[in-house]
Amino acid sequence: MNLIMLAPPGAGKGTHCTWLTEETGVAHISSGDLLRAEIGTGSALSRRLAEYTGRGDLVPDDLVFALLIPVVVAAARGTGGYLLDGFPRTVSQACRLAEIGIERDLVTDAVVYLRAPDAVLVERLLDRADREGRADDMPDVIRHRLAVFSADTAPVVGYYRDRGVLIEIDADRPVGVIRTDLRQRLADRGVLAPSAA
Ligand code: ADP
């Protein structure tokens, strides 16, 4: 299974990737987690990365590719697929991923778009800030990340919709309801085995 999770901050990408990985065994690759791990090393690169993530801006493509592509290729080889969380986030990242998919026979099966109103997303992120204390879950940075999603990532939704691989899910519902719906939609497309559905 080669799957992409596309969603604004706070929509629940991580939550749904967790059970999908448990059920399929496919590696969950979170670009945000990889970036935060790199930032935690304190290297020269980490300081550059933290400037972008701290503001809620996207990290430049070349840095993201260098960090992510080897992980995606290795994970796909090791686990039989990929479950991408937070990547691609721009149309240029989507194009690069498509090239690699064709070169290496790792073409994306489906793209899940979790959508929810901004007010719901802001509320969830502020709630998470209290629990996890992530540096970019501050009110002004949250607003900026949502604006970056609208400007840079919303076009990626259109890119995949045009290619007929988009599964659109209303994420403003309880987690269990979303999970049942998503599992069914993936099974309908033959992405998840019917037995798992
Ligand atoms: P969220 O979806 O809640 O914003 P993530 O953990 O996915 O959180 O991303 C956190 C930050 O990491 C982003 O605001 C951005 O700075 C950076 N980032 C993550 N993925 C990418 C990507 N594919 N391209 C560029 N920057 C990224």
Say how many Å lie between the CA of residue 194 and the centre of ligand 1. Answer: 32
pTM, to two decimals = 0.94
Identify the weakest region by mean pLDDT among 54-68, 97-111, 153-167. Answer: 97-111
The answer to whether the CB of 52 is under 6 A from ligand 1 is yes
Q: How many C-beta atoms surround the C-beta of residue 146 within 10 A?
A: 18
How remote is the CA of residue 58 from the centroid of ligand 1, in Å?
A: 6
In tens, the pLDDT along 26-51 reads 999 999 999 999 999 999 999 999 99
Q: Among the ranges 44-48, 142-146, 189-193, which has the highest mean pLDDT value? A: 142-146
Residue position matching structure tokens 């049942």:
180
DSSP annotation string for 74-140: HHHHHHSSEEEES---SHHHHHHHHHHHHHHT----EEEEEE--HHHHHHHHHHHHHHH--TT-SHH
Residue ID of nearest Cα to ligand 1 atom 12: 32
**CA 147 to each of CA 18, 52, 53, 97, 118: distance values in angstroms, whole numbers, following the listed order:** 26, 15, 14, 24, 10
- pLDDT higher than 60, residue 196: no
Q: What are the tens digits of pLDDT across the range 97-133?
A: 999 888 888 899 999 999 999 999 999 999 998 888 8
Dihedral Cα 81, 61, 67, 35, nearest 10 deg? -100
Quote the ligand 1 centre to 184 CA distance (angstroms).
28
CA torsion through residues 151, 138, 51, 116, sign: negative
Evaluate: CB of 108 within 6 angstroms of ligand 1. no
Eight-state DSSP code of residue 189 = T
Supply the pLDDT for residue 195: 61
**Which of 6, 18, 49, 59, when mutated, tests ligand 1's pocket best, judged by the most ligand atoms within 8 Å of its CB?**
59
